[in-house]
Amino acid sequence: MPNAETIQTGNGNDACRRELHALHAEREALERRLALAAQQRLYRSDPAAVAAAQAEEAALLVALDRLMTRIRAAEYRTKPGARSW
């Protein structure tokens, strides 16, 4: 998966490129938090801490799903002839 530095847009629009960079940076941060929550859920011994990590992991998965939808929409807008709704 390309990182924010290697994203190329179809029309060279700097505003779209900056938006994609920001979205991918946000995605990377979310994925790191998600990995930490998953590790805490797996390896904590306190049941309350495990439950808290599980709840955080679920919330982060929802946030990641929404962010990925925004990324796909931003990538679509960079294509020539893309429709705007």
Evaluate if residue 11 carries a pLDDT over 70: no
Evaluate if residue 17 carries a pLDDT over 80: yes
Assess contact for 21 and 75: CB atoms under 8 A: no
Return all residues near 19 (Cβ < 8 A) that are at least 6 apart. 74
Assess contact for 78 and 10: CB atoms under 8 A: yes
pLDDT value at residue 27 = 97
Encode pLDDT of 21-79 as tens digits. Answer: 999 999 999 999 999 999 999 999 999 999 999 999 999 999 999 999 999 988 888 88
